[in-house]
Amino acid sequence: MSYIDLKYKPSKDDLICSFRIEPAKGLSVKKVAEAVAAESSVGTWTNIKTMKPRIRKMAAKVFEIKGNWVKIAYPSVLFESGNMPEIMSSIGGNIFGMRAVKNIRLEDVEWPEKIKKSFKGPKFGIYGVRKLLHVKDRPLVGTIVKPKIGLNEREHAKVAYQAWIGGCDIVKDDENLTSQSFNNFEKRVVETLKLRDKAENKTGERKMYMPNVTAETREMIKRAKFVKKQGGEYVMVDILTAGWSGLQTLRDEGLNLVIHAHRAGHATFTRNKRHGISMLVVADIARLIGVDQLHIGTVVGKMEGGKEEVYHIEDEIEKRFIREKGHYLEEDWGKIKPVFAVCSGGLHPGLVPKLMKIMGKNIIIQAGGGIHGHPKGTLLGAMAMRHAVDASLKNISLKEYAKSHNELREALKKWS
């Protein structure tokens, strides 16, 4: 049977994948596209006697081929509602290991309403988080306790406190700090939340702590419940190493906690622009399942990924960004709330104006070394970051603003 129908018009219930395909030597894009559609839906590598007429109607259809770009429509009946592992096993599974393929990259997915509605999406999203923090119209400022690992529970909490009273809204654990021998999870949460309350009393601002609950799923839920019991309002999870199932279990537990998603490990399949899965697809999945905040890179920081990747997540499919007024995670998905884009990786105050010009206000500026590496320490580093945000909101150059703000001047001197 053929899986190609260039006259096919996708229905509203079709899930549509955009692939970039490089065929193996001697094969055409058309031939490989057909093999991909077969392997990811109802077919296999040869004709089979068990293929019944009703099953043929479930086959994926290649309906557009433009150079190496291919669009394939999948009937929703192929997928189990609310089961992201099954969906990804289909559209992002065996196809990457096929001999017919030299390189293949899943660039984008257009999700039908039927599938969207089977996931909960963010509990809070951008505007729910803003309501919690009482911050309406500026980027949120966050930091990661540094060094990544090595501090004990009290040392960790003290660093967080300095960041909060300096002006940070949010402090989070780093991706590889969970519950090590030198820093026990439960003790760290108790100590840090204690100083969060102290920082709120001192500054008159809401402050948030994001403990990393990443672990085996049952342990992760146990840790999230502990955070809730101690008065915490946030948890952080390494979504790719924990897995889509673990993330969905956490979201569906109904703990009423903001979920901050770290993307540790994403580059194993997003970095190669010719093979793998784009960050755009990862972001879609995380949003459908229900994270409230997601790391997306910075454009201007230390992590790999230029404007084309980050700006539109960011913008591997440029037309989807241009249609919206803001970054891709703000795209209107009906009842699925927009997600806060977390800009992190090599940021310091000197980069803030450019970052805000590119990404807008609905971002979280998450700086680690760019705060703790300030010549005079964490407190003044946090102050410098808030000064940079304030200057940008007022359309005042950092050089000019630094004349009356010593903390910013010191930061700019170090990170020119």
Q: How far is CA 179 from CA 220, 247, 259, 329, 342, in A?
A: 11, 19, 19, 31, 24
* Residue 381 CB neighbours (<10 A): 30
Long-range contacts of 374-379 (CB under 8 A, 24+ apart): 374/407, 374/410, 374/411, 374/414, 375/410, 375/411, 375/413, 375/414, 376/407, 376/410, 377/162, 378/143, 378/159, 378/162, 378/163, 378/166, 379/162, 379/163, 379/165, 379/166
Q: What amino acid positions are annotated as catalytic residues?
A: 146, 262
Q: Which residues pair with 351 in a beta bridge?
A: none
Contact in structure between 349 and 375 (CB atoms under 8 Å): no
Contact in structure between 144 and 59 (CB atoms under 8 Å): no
CA angle 20/22/25 to nearest 5° reads 170
Contacts of 383 (CB under 8 A, 6+ apart): 166, 167, 405, 407, 408
In degrees and rounded to multiples of 5, residue 334 shows phi and psi of: 65, -120
* Residue 253 CB neighbours (<10 A): 14
